[in-house]
Amino acid sequence: MPKKLGRNKPDEVDATSVQYDEMELNWDLPDTLWGGTTAMRLKPEFLPKFKGEKQLEFQERLNQSFLFNQYKNTIEDVVAKPFSESVIVTEPPVELEGFEDDVDGKGTNLTQFGKDVYEAGMRWGLSHILVDAPPIPKMVDDVGNEVARTLADQMRDGRRPVWVHVTPKTLLGWRTETIAGQTILTQIRVKEYAVEPVLKKTYLDQTVEYVRVINRTTWELWKKNPKGKWDLDDNGTNDLGWIPLKTFYVRPTGYLTADPTFMDLAWLNLEHWQSKSDQRNILHYSRFAQLFAKGMTIKEIKASQQVGANRLMAAKDTDADMKYVEIAGPGIAAGERDLKHIEDQMEVVKATPFVQRKGFDTKATGMIINEARSTSPVKAWANIESTVLKGAYELTAEWLNLDLPEKFEVKVYTDFVNAAGNSKDMDHVIELRQEGTITKKTELQEAQRRGIVVETIDPDDELEAAAGESMDELKAAVKASKDPDPDPDEGNED
């Protein structure tokens, strides 16, 4: 029976929303792949059990399986490029100078914080930045009258906004309203964890769960007690009047929802995990020769179990024989080809984020990056993150009642060479074409995307023209391209 999302669970502050539950359905495989071989072995459901296979045999096969983690390698490569250089902040206000050195109040600089947000977006398809501010204590004059705190007072006391990275896994739920035709966020619930000392113990620590509820005008902090119940730990007012959250979208499916960015690659990696496990299982038996005997009694066989130099084996039957046999057959070679085929497919998918595309649609902001010229997804995503980081700065300025300068900008590095231009991924595309997996048209389009063939060529027209060329014309063209330019004076006599 299908799972009824959002049903049959306690109405507690940590209850997840229906939208959360729908996204969570796609997280198990990518998250397990991220954990590597150890995590995959802890999820035996990802390795099918053979019919009739005993549990001990299955466990041995599982323990001999190793993950070729192309999924995690791909995300790490995609993240490394934009953050190989520091994030640049141009013309910040004086009050925010040096803010990029510690954006979260824990010593994390802007580049590392942005990298963490970007990586989360690559894993789950989106991620968030919450711009929080600690409560501002009241100030009173000499006679006890409350006085307004100035920005200088706040900065002097170190009470300035901090950025909190909220992953999709910690944003438990949200509420929205449609106001003047716009979707307005009215509540979010964020799961948090803190390491605190165990009561009455000197050295032992424990992880304590919290849920922060932020409404448009108020906030609450709930703490889970040792009995598993939630207690209101703190609360206050939200002076902004709205929720200071910015979202980095990579593969959005709706408001604050998304699919994992590299889900297709995750499935391919799972296919490789299973095929590689089968291959290792076959090799486990085929690598060891088995001793074969015929024409021998049980007694003779037992007497001959020790084989080696200075050993004597005897049998009465003149047709008796004893020899080593090895397993051989097309299955092993077929397994190798299957693994190579999957690896080629993963290599193509890995290169895709670095391949130039014309008019790459970000979907997140409703704009088209580079309508006239091409860009790669990884650069487009970096540009989107630049916008999100700038938005977080704008929220920071709102908390401090500051106006950002007109020329203020935040820029994630994009002036890098796309990896696909220097890789051999086109060779894998050609192999897929030769195997009949893709068409000639797809092969030509992939060559265009990699800048090997000019974009102005129409694939259909080109394929039609190529089909009409005779072999003689083709050979003449190749010969002409190889021959040196003729000497204009050759054949002329004085």
Predicted pLDDT of residue 445:
82
Please, are residues 358 and 58 in contact by the beta-carbon 8 Å criterion? no
Band the pLDDT of 372: cuts 50, 70, 90.
very low
Contact between residue 379 and residue 373 where contact means Cβ atoms under 8 Å apart:
no
Confidence of residue 11 (pLDDT cuts 50, 70, 90): confident
Q: What is the DSSP letter of 226?
A: T
Pick 71 or 203 by higher pLDDT: 71
112-169 residue pLDDT tens: 999 999 999 999 999 999 999 876 555 555 666 655 554 455 555 556 899 999 999 9
Determine contact, residues 230/14, Cβ cutoff 8 Å.
yes
pLDDT at 140: 52
CA distance 185 to 19: 15
For 246-280, the pLDDT digits (tens) are: 999 999 999 999 999 999 999 999 999 999 988 87
| 122 or 319, higher pLDDT | 122
- State the pLDDT confidence band at 337, using cuts at 50, 70 and 90: confident
**Which run of H or E residues covers position 291?**
strand 290-294
> Is it the case that residue 484 has pLDDT exceeding 60?
no
Is 90 exceeded by the pLDDT of residue 68? yes
**Segment 295-309 mean pLDDT:** 68
Predicted pLDDT at 465: 83
> Binning pLDDT at 50, 70 and 90, where does residue 358 land?
low
pLDDT of residue 422: 40
Quick check: 369 pLDDT over 50? no
Higher pLDDT, 336 or 319: 336
Report which of residues 148 and 333 the model is more confident about: 333
Tell me, what's the pLDDT at 433? 86
Return the ∠ at Cα 79 (arms to 367 and 342), rounded to 5°. 100
Residue 289: band (very low, low, confident or very high) from pLDDT cuts 50, 70, 90: low
Query: With pLDDT > 70 as the criterion, what percentage of the chain qualifies?
Result: 74
Would you place residue 459 in the very low, low, confident or very high pLDDT band (cuts 50, 70, 90)?
Answer: confident
Q: What is the pLDDT of residue 382?
A: 97
pLDDT of residue 487: 57
Q: Is 367 a residue whose pLDDT tops 50?
A: no
Q: How deeply is 263 buried, as exposed, middle or buried, from its count of CB atoms within 10 A (0-12, 13-18, 19+)? A: middle
Task: Report pLDDT digits (tens) over 381-418.
Answer: 999 999 999 999 999 999 998 999 999 999 999 987 66
Lowest mean pLDDT among 13-22, 229-238, 331-340, 481-490: 481-490
Task: Provide mean pLDDT across the span 437-456.
Answer: 78
Rounded alpha-carbon distances, angstroms, from residue 35 to 39, 40, 117, 142 = 5, 7, 19, 59
- Measure the CA–CA gap between 467 and 463, rounded to whole angstroms: 6
DSSP, residue by residue, 377-398: HHHHHHHHHHHHHHHHHHHHHH
CA angle at 263 for the pair 48 and 47, rounded to the nearest 5°? 10
φ, ψ of residue 343 to 5 degrees: the values are -65, -40
pLDDT on residue 477 = 64
Name the pLDDT band for 284 (thresholds 50, 70, 90). low
**Of the candidates 137, 22, 100, 50, the residue with the CA atom closest to the CA atom of residue 408:** 100
- Residue 411 phi, psi (nearest 5): -130, 120
